[in-house]
Every structure is written in C-alpha cells, then in structure tokens.
Structure 1
Amino acid sequence: MSIKLKSIKFGENKFRKLQKLEINFSDRITVIGGLNGIGKSTILGLIANCSGIRSSQYKSYFNALFQANFQELFHLDENDDYKEKIEDKSYIDITYLFDDIEFTKRCSVSRHSDKDSEGNLITRLKVVPRTLNKPLGTELKIGESAKVPLPTLYLGMSRMTPIGEYEKDRIRLTKVRNIEEADKNYIHQLFKDVITFDVSSTEDPIIDHDFKGSKKRSKLPSLKHNTFSISLGQDSLSSIFTALASFKKLKREMDAYPGGLLIIDEIDAGLHHIAQIRLMHLLKKEARRLNLQIVFTTHSLTIFKHILTVPESQIEKGIVEDTVVYLHNTPAPKILINPNYLRIKNNQLSQSKDPDLAFPRTPKVKIYLEDDEGKFFLEKIFSFKKINDFKALYGTELDLLSLKVGCSSLMNLIKADKYFSTVVIVPDNDILSEEKNRKAIIEHKQFCPLPSDKSFNENTPSIDRNPEKIIYDFLKDKIANYDSEDPFWEHILKINDGAYDFDYIQNTILPIPDRKYDNSQLPKIRDKMKYWFNIHKSFIENAKIIESWCQENTDQVDNFCKDLQMSIAFVCQDNSILTN
C-alpha cells in the first residue's frame, strides 16, 4: 500500500503565528518559500513529527530510525506553545492518502511526565499526533497516538555547521567498508551528477563523518584530499545524498515499502546556482525512482523559477508533479495564490513600489462550460458561496464561456489543440457516468465537472446528472416529500408575497412541456429539460432555487469549489511559464 502526505491544515487557534492555513503537497516535490521568520521550518517540523517507522530493523545510513520528533528539532515553549485549556489549544490536521483512502492525524502540544535515570520526575512537552477516525486507524493498524508508518527523514540546518568549528576530538572519521556496493556506487554517482568533486577511485571506501554531541552525520566518497576540508555546499550535499542512499537501501530491504518522505530545510544553502539546478533535476529523477515525496524550504530564486517552469509533457497530461507554496505577510502568514516567478522575486526583494511590477497583469483564465444552463448553474454556485472577487480568491480574473457542445466534444478538445491545456473546462456532471471519463478527469486537472447531487453514486444515469435535471428533481422531491418544517418552504414563502407556494410549484413549475410555445416538438428528454429550465429561469433565479440546492448539498459544492480552485491554480501555473 502506498502512503502519501496530502495536506497540513492549521485551525482557528494559532500555532506560533500559523492560523487558518491549508497547504497541499505534491506527489513529488513541494517547495515552501517565504521571508525569514514566517513559519516555513515550523511546517517542516510538524510534518516530520507525524510520520515515521520505529522498527530498529530498518536504520538509515545516519544510523538512526526513519522518523523525527518535533521537540527534538525545535524548542517547545511552556508559555507560548502549550495551552492548558482545550478551547485555547492549537490543532493541526495532517492528512495522508493510503492509496485512495484519506487518513488524518490531529496534532497538538501536550505535557508529559517521565522519570529520569535517577528516578526524578521530569515534565516535557511533545507534539502528539492523534487519530481522528479511530475505526479507520484500527483497520490500518495505526495506534491512536502513533506516527503514520511512512518512512521519514528530516535534514535540518545542523548539516551546515562548518566542520572547522568542531573540535577535532568531537569528530569521528570512519572508513566504511561494509556498505553495499550498489549504495557506494550510488553515492559516488550522485556527487558526480551535481558538482565537480575531487573523488578518488570507487574502489576506495566511503567516509563516514560522525559529530559527537550533534545530529550532524553523513557519508561521502573518499577524496584526494582530507574530507575535513570540504566546503559547506559539499557537506550539505553529503547529507542529502546519504538520505537518498538510505531510502534506496530501505526500498530494497523492506517487503512492503510504502514510499518515503524526505524533508530538507534550506536546501540551497552553500550551493551555487548551477549546482542548485542540477540538484533539482537529480531530486526529480530519484524521487520518482525511490517513490519519494520531497518537501523543502528555500530562498533561492533559481529554484523557484526552475520548479515553476512546468514541463510540456506535464501540461499535456494535466498533471503537475512539483509545486511551489509561497507564504507572505509575515505577522499573519497567508498563501500566495497562484505564485509566479515575478511575484515571488518582488516579495523576496520587498519590491512593491510599482504595483504593475509586483503584481503583473495576467490574462483572464477562461472557463469553458457545455451550455448556458451550466454557466448559469456555476454563476449561482458563486452567488451561494459569496464569491464575487475572483482576483482575491483565485489570483486571477475569470471569463465564463458557454461552448454549446456536449461532454464528449469537451473531452476531445484537449486532444485536438494544446490551447485547451491552458483553460479550465467545466462539463456537466453527466460526464462522470462513464468510467473512461472519470479516469480522464483524474489525469487532466484542467477538467472540473459541476457538482453532483448528494444522492448520486457511480450508477446514477447520465440523464439525471445535468444541471436542469438536478434542479427539476430537487423541486419534485420537495413536492413528493412535503415537510412544512423544511427551511426550504419557510424561505420560499417569503418571496413574492407567498406566491411561490406548494400549489404554484406543483401545478405551474413541475409540468414538463412536450412542445415549445410555437408548437414545435421537443423529441428528446434533454431538449425538454433545457426548454423547461429556460421558461422557468426567472422563477429559479428569483426564488434562489439553485442556492437552496447548494445549501442542502454543501459537501458536494465545497468539494467542487476546491477542485475548481486547483484547476485554476494548475492552469495559472502552466501559464506562469510566460511570465517567468
């Protein structure tokens, strides 16, 4: 079973300065950026704390378990981080995907009492990940306060402490001769791929640096000079490559390897720009090979630009494997919506004198819908969600366009012209009635079908899934299952002096016409429903019928809005290549 980190969500109460934020992680590389002191390292520490494997059977080449603990990485303050009252506590939800099953751990700071070696009672603070869905936790064999069993390695800034600042008697240099030959050659090759290194023969042993009283430890090839004299960049790379070799070893040894999570703070430290680009290429390749998710922080504009430049092949497939999450507004961090290189550069340099420079004008994102009914339905969803400032929510203006074509034609557009990789396509929900379409939508993030009714399942026929039929069935159900206490009736009887009552809807609205006003026939049920929808459009609008439907299908509408935001972000990231 594959395990992937999906998201981290900060609740209403602040943890340090982080509050009401949700970060989604990519399948391969997620870059977290922002100015100093904005909370990037805190985010890394929290996700590192929540997963790992405790079995001593599997150890990394750092001679440590594949796990980390927040309190060992960062100081937890009794006054600032710990809250006694439950209502004051900060809660952080970290969600994982076990194949396609979502599993969430809720983290908070708690106080624990232990006895030291002399029997004295000591109190310490810990960040404890507690299971939200206990039956699912039992099914997955994960304890209530146990870590998610995703092998995890965290590389902090201790890897960057200059060797020259350590006393010689605190450094143990060991020639490792029992390392697997494949891993030894692997470490050699990693160095060669990134920097020019004065490496000696591959027949010579790997050198292990172990620093007493520190978590700093790494392996590197034998050099033609003393390994104590390596640069900071070379030293940092040795830690990163030791981690990669550790996952390579684990994948080979572990029967049911679920993948891994590699977390790196300040990945660019000590590296020149060419080495940074080479390292990015290498990490992409090795993440795919080792089934790794890699999450790191950086201030490097070189790295931001590289990750934001989405390969043509990914654009065509509708899949972005690597993303940038950029935090701004240091006192109360927010996520920069649809980041592009120029906006990040201006934030990094604190340049904002010219608004057009800091926030360059970008073209509207076009959203194509099947027909006018779908466009009207989407507009009413925006009305229900009170979304009236697209730029504020999505980072770009939207242009809603009705194509007046069927769902199969919409599906074929992306194959016909690359232009349709740069727009969002919102088909009717009937597109989900076929398995091949469901797969295509998963593969192409530009597609975002209109929401389903809460009653729908995979077997719901396509004829019931278009917007006009969804609204018709909603009204029909209100009549068939009349409930005088239903808030729907309380709302609708206040409109137009109560004219929109039970009898009006039953006798005037629900009958489906067979012919148009000009007496021309409506042979197909879809034609009849479209005609019905349009002759009663003013009623549907005045009575806020679609908004009432949204109120009773909030989960479906909320999920649609999240998917739409992701589709817009995906398209904007593709288009940001033009502004990089």
Structure 2
Amino acid sequence: MALKKENVTRLKSFHINIFRGLSDIDIDFADRITLICGKNGTSKSTILGIAAQIFSFSKDYSKSPVEVLDYKNLNDRAFKSAFKEHFRFSSEYDKPGNMDIDITVHDGAFRREINGLKLGLTDSSDRSKARPVLRKNIPAAHGSGNTSRNVTHPVIYLSLSRLIPISQRVEYSKRNIDYLNSNDGLFKELCSDILNKGDIVKATATDGDLRSAVAHGNDYDQDSVSVGEDNVGQLVLALLSFKQLSENYPNYHGGLLLIDEADAGLFPAAQKNLIRILSEFSKTLSLQVVMTSHSPTMIDAVKYYSDRDQKNFKTIYLTNAYGKVAAKPNWGWDFILADMESRALSSHNSKSRKKINVYFEDREASDFFDKLVRKRDVRSHLSLKKTVKLSSEAYRAFIKEKVEEFSKNSIVVFDGDVPNVAKYKNCLSLPGGYPPDQLVFKVLMELPKDDDYWKNELLFTKDAFTQIARKLIRRLNIAFDEDNNEIDLASKIESCKTGRPIREDFKELYKTDTIQALLKKQSTNPFCLWISRNPADVSMFNEELTKTLKKVYLDVHKRLTTDLNNL
C-alpha cells in the first residue's frame, strides 16, 4: 500500500555554495526520478555523492528511546554509502570552508520539512583529512540536542564499480539469497522485461569482488552473461532490496536509489524499459531515484515523463557553457545536443526548431486550445493559425486531395463534435464533445446557482448568464428556473433544424461583450472551469497532441532531410 505523502522522506534540493567545481548552484530534485546529464567534468557524479552523504540508516531518532536499526540489503550490506566510496579527499584542497552546501529534506519519520541542513567539512584530531558532517538536523524525539547527524533514510548507491566485467573479477562464485529464491519469479520477470529477452528461466546470485545476481537461460549461466545483463541484475537486486525492507521495516518511509551512468551496457530499448520499471517501482515503493546518464534515449525517456508530471520526473542538464557550471532543468534534447557539440542551436538542422502549424475551425476553437495546452515545451513547437477559419468539410477536402500543408505538414484540430477524426494521422478533436461555443453554453447552463464559480469579481451570476442567453435558452426549450444538472444538448440542437442555423445563435452568444470579458480572466473563463473539472479528458487530449506533434514533426523532418540530401 502506498505511503501518505507526508510519511515519505524526500531529498528536495541542494544549494551548493561551494564544493570543488560547483559554486552558487541550485539542484531541485523530482519526487520520483531525477536524471542528471551533462558534458564530462560538470560534476554529475559529485551530486550523487553529496546526496548519498546526507543519509544513514543505523538509528531511528523519531523513536523514544532511539531505535537501533540492523537492516541489510540483499548484498548483506547496510543501506548507506560512505563518502570514501564517492570521493578521495585531498588534505591540501579539501579543507573546512571548501564545502558549504545548504540542503532541504522532507523527513517522513518526523513528518516535517528540514530547510536548514548544512553539509560541510570538519577537522578532527584523530584524522589526517577533514571529514564531511551534516549539521542543523532536528532534535531526536526524546529531546536530545544533538543535531549533527545524518537524516535516517535507506540508500543504495550503484557506482561505476558495478561494471567490472566478469572475466576480470578475481573472486567470483555462486551464493545463496533466501529472499531472491522466494522472489525469483519477479526477479526474472523484471530482467526479462528490461532486456526484452524471452529465454530467461533462471536466477543466480554471485559473490566475490562484486556481489550481484543475474538472470539467464538454460543454455548459458552466470559465467557467460554480459556486462549489461549483470548491470540489470544489480539494478533489479537493488529494487528487491527496497521491497524486502518495505515488508520487514514497520517504520518504512521510502528509500533513495542512486545510479551512476544508468545506461551503461544497455541498448536503447533496454534503457527505455529500465526507466519504465523505475517509474513503476518508485511509485509503489515510494522510492526516489537519482541517476546520471549521457544517453539521448534515456534523457528523452525521462523528459517524456517530465512533460506530463514535472513534480515526479525531471531532467537536469549541467553545462559550463556560461563559465561556472549551471543547472538547466528539463531541457529538450535539441538544446542539450547543441551544448554538448559546442555549437549554436540555430546552426543545427534548420528543421530541428521548425514550428508546426496548427489550424482550427474558428477562433472559439483556438481560444479553447490556448487554455488546454499550457506546457511550454509543447507550445514552443507550435504555430497557432488563429486567423485561418475553415469548416471541417473544407479541411477534410484538402486532406482527401492530399494538399500537403493540411495532410502532412501541420496539425488540424477539429471541434469536439466532428466524427472519425482518428483516421487522419495529423488530426485530433477538441475534448468535450461539442464545438467550443456550445461547450461554454453547456458548462454555464448546467452549473448550479450556488456553485463557487458564480462568486466572481465580475458579479457574473447564473441569473446574469440566463439573461444574456435568454433567446438561445428559449429556442432550445430549456427551463429557466431550475438547476439543469445535465442537458442533452445534442438532442436539443437536433430539434432546432428549422429557421436560422442554431450554430449562429451559439456564436452570437459567444461573441457578446459579457462572454468575452469572462474569457479574459482565468477565474471566470468557462474553458478554465471545464478544464479544472475534467482533468482526465485534458490529460488525454494533451497526450494525443504530443503524439500527433511527434508524428508530424518526424515526418516533416525526414522528408526535409531527404530533400536536402538530393540537392
């Protein structure tokens, strides 16, 4: 069962005032997966090392008296990572004052955010080198004043040492892990899923220079697996370690999984599958995953999630292009590639920043679209053609005649009542099931008089609405004096076939000064009201838009590249 948000320990942010190659830099972490990328020498692994140093898992200070913890991961090691595993300190350069880091953590055991944590170096008489100490923690539950201690939280750090090829391990043998034996089905399933292999039937734990576990088939064993297969085994073993801990430790508050070069030894499909698996486990086990990678596949995979949920997923690109290292959250791959290749973005393939035209049936549709699509990364690729007004029949005719601007090069957004739009790969329908002007009417007409919406700064009440919509309400034969919980507007419209086209009455209402004034304010905009109460439909529309944009963008890019090559 998922933990309540306040019970989950999360690393929230760093402000690194100074430490080695980093100064005056903010790193904000996602709740579930954070991918750190950048050129060599931008201190990606340093951030992982700092994160590991903040936590230990030997005592629970939220208990009174303090509870001693003796839990081990499936490699029979404590859930912590010593500083010496990440850094070799210099007695000359790593001195007190040369590390000054402000840290914010939400401590799930105490159910509170700790904003003033300080990580720095401290001299001691019994050591030749300074050692890192975390200060300004909160007192223990029994009232102890000792605040120079790490936050209690289980950590697994998977460093690059996990990539030692089996052939180069001096000590290498089988071992037995009871929990793995009882969960070997899950272990094999996860390894098979990540590696996209169907012949995995066995799971073997190994010991020696490096402790691991591998999944393999009947025709080979642990002595024959690749570095990539062994890497996947270690990753899955880490996930199962947290799973076992969540089952055995009654005061479980999640965990922190740190992975250096997460893509190492994995082909692109396996990298995508790994991100998906980590996403699933980070949710079910309340894990926070922080990893580094240079892989465009892995960066794109995390970016895909972050475009939909920036609280839980984030990419952080570290760049030294501006002098000192700076952090750029959720940069797209085109920006990252330009920086990695040390060139201007505009010098890249001219089509890489081409905007895709988006066409609508009318201005009402573009007004609705404006409120539906808010993500900057999506908007930056779109050019909304708000002054072009064509009927759905006209767009269909252009598409049928294969006019490329409408059949290939752009996106056509139809009103919500247009059928069979899915058959066109570059088209989609607005949500709501009605043209936008009709949707505005339906939303406001169905809204009870006592709804909070009517308590707005424009003094626009239900009575004010029925006053300006009186002619249309009469024509549709809708009662004025009752709250209409749900109106079958399609049937009402169907009954108005004689006389002036009913669509013109809806447009007339939409263009009134009152409705136009409502549209100008977020708090009174009827589209915003509908969006706030239909999050699933909004999410589905944005997902379809992103898929459509990618299809059109890639198709246009492919054809442009071919044309350029033929010049």
For 2:86 and 2:329, the matched residues in 1 are separated by 30
For 1:140 and 1:4, the matched residues in 2 are separated by 23
1:152-163 maps to which residues of 2 (within 5 A)? 152-163=155-166
Report percent identity of matched pairs: 27
Match of 1:128 in 2: 133
How much does 1:346 deviate? 1.8
TM-score (norm 2): 0.57
Q: String of CA shifts for 1:349-370, please: whole Å, max 9, x gaps.
A: 333374576998799xxxxxxx
How much does 1:420 deviate? 4.8
For 2:77 and 2:264, the matched residues in 1 are separated by 23
Distance 1:255 1:237, change over 3 A: same
Checking the alignment, whether the CA contact within 8 Å between 1:219 and 1:242 is kept in structure 2 is yes
Match of 1:145 in 2: 148
> Secondary structure of the equivalent of 2:373?
helix
**1:211 and 2:200 are equivalent in the alignment:** no
Residue 92 of structure 2: which of 65, 69, 79 is its match?
A: 79
Match of 1:107 in 2: 119
Distance 1:134 1:56, change over 3 A: closer
Checking the alignment, whether the CA contact within 8 Å between 1:61 and 1:243 is kept in structure 2 is yes
Checking the alignment, whether the CA contact within 8 Å between 1:71 and 1:126 is kept in structure 2 is no
> Secondary structure of the equivalent of 1:44?
helix
How much does 1:128 deviate? 1.3
How much does 1:162 deviate? 0.9
For 1:228 and 1:47, the matched residues in 2 are separated by 34
Match of 2:65 in 1: none
Distance 1:310 1:173, change over 3 A: closer
How much does 1:260 deviate? 0.6
Checking the alignment, whether the CA contact within 8 Å between 1:142 and 1:148 is kept in structure 2 is no
Match of 1:564 in 2: none
How much does 1:140 deviate? 9.1
How much does 1:210 deviate? 2.1
User: How many residues get paired?
Assistant: 363
Residue 275 of structure 1: which of 258, 263, 270 is its match?
A: 270
> Secondary structure of the equivalent of 1:247?
helix
Distance 1:353 1:58, change over 3 A: closer
Structure 2: which 5+ residue stretches go unaligned? 1-6, 59-67, 356-366, 379-456, 458-541, 555-567
CA RMSD of aligned residues (A): 3.9
Residue 237 of structure 2: which of 235, 242, 252 is its match?
A: 242
1:174-253 maps to which residues of 2 (within 5 A)? 174=175, 176=176, 178-179=178-179, 181-197=181-197, 201=201, 206-212=203-209, 216-221=210-215, 223-224=217-218, 225-253=220-248
Checking the alignment, whether the CA contact within 8 Å between 1:346 and 1:352 is kept in structure 2 is yes
Q: String of CA shifts for 1:276-324, please: whole Å, max 9, x gaps.
A: 1111111111111111010000000011111112488x46xxx542110
For 2:87 and 2:46, the matched residues in 1 are separated by 8
Checking the alignment, whether the CA contact within 8 Å between 1:277 and 1:302 is kept in structure 2 is yes
For 2:217 and 2:145, the matched residues in 1 are separated by 44
**1:15 and 2:10 are equivalent in the alignment:** no
Residue 294 of structure 2: which of 291, 299, 321 is its match?
A: 299
Distance 1:575 1:163, change over 3 A: same
How much does 1:133 deviate? 5.5
How much does 1:94 deviate? 2.0
Match of 2:338 in 1: 346
Distance 1:9 1:353, change over 3 A: closer
1:403-418 maps to which residues of 2 (within 5 A)? 417-418=371-372
Checking the alignment, whether the CA contact within 8 Å between 2:137 and 2:149 is kept in structure 1 is no
How much does 1:126 deviate? 2.2
> Secondary structure of the equivalent of 1:193?
helix
How much does 1:107 deviate? 0.7
For 1:26 and 1:139, the matched residues in 2 are separated by 32
Checking the alignment, whether the CA contact within 8 Å between 1:188 and 1:221 is kept in structure 2 is yes
Checking the alignment, whether the CA contact within 8 Å between 1:26 and 1:322 is kept in structure 2 is yes
Residue 29 of structure 1: which of 33, 37, 40 is its match?
A: 33
Residue 312 of structure 2: which of 309, 312, 321 is its match?
A: 321
How much does 1:150 deviate? 1.5
How much does 1:197 deviate? 4.6
Distance 1:138 1:56, change over 3 A: closer
For 1:156 and 1:181, the matched residues in 2 are separated by 25
For 2:14 and 2:350, the matched residues in 1 are separated by 28
Q: Which amino acid aligns with 1:96?
A: V
Checking the alignment, whether the CA contact within 8 Å between 1:277 and 1:306 is kept in structure 2 is yes
Q: Which amino acid aligns with 1:10?
A: I
Residue 96 of structure 1: which of 84, 101, 105 is its match?
A: 105
For 1:159 and 1:423, the matched residues in 2 are separated by 36
Distance 1:21 1:287, change over 3 A: same
How much does 1:138 deviate? 5.6
Checking the alignment, whether the CA contact within 8 Å between 1:6 and 1:95 is kept in structure 2 is yes
Match of 1:65 in 2: 78
For 2:254 and 2:242, the matched residues in 1 are separated by 9
Checking the alignment, whether the CA contact within 8 Å between 2:37 and 2:315 is kept in structure 1 is yes
For 2:350 and 2:40, the matched residues in 1 are separated by 19
Match of 2:438 in 1: none
Distance 1:307 1:15, change over 3 A: same
How much does 1:196 deviate? 4.3
How much does 1:194 deviate? 0.9
1:462-477 maps to which residues of 2 (within 5 A)? none
Checking the alignment, whether the CA contact within 8 Å between 2:75 and 2:212 is kept in structure 1 is yes
Comparing 189-198 with 282-291, greater Cα deviation is found at 189-198
> Secondary structure of the equivalent of 1:346?
helix
Q: Which amino acid aligns with 2:112?
A: I
Distance 1:261 1:414, change over 3 A: farther
For 1:415 and 1:357, the matched residues in 2 are separated by 29
Q: Which amino acid aligns with 2:34?
A: T
How much does 1:184 deviate? 2.2
**1:173 and 2:174 are equivalent in the alignment:** yes
For 2:73 and 2:147, the matched residues in 1 are separated by 26
Q: String of CA shifts for 1:204-230, please: whole Å, max 9, x gaps.
A: xx4222233xxx321223643231221
For 1:193 and 1:161, the matched residues in 2 are separated by 23
Checking the alignment, whether the CA contact within 8 Å between 2:188 and 2:201 is kept in structure 1 is no
> Secondary structure of the equivalent of 1:127?
strand
> Secondary structure of the equivalent of 2:47?
helix
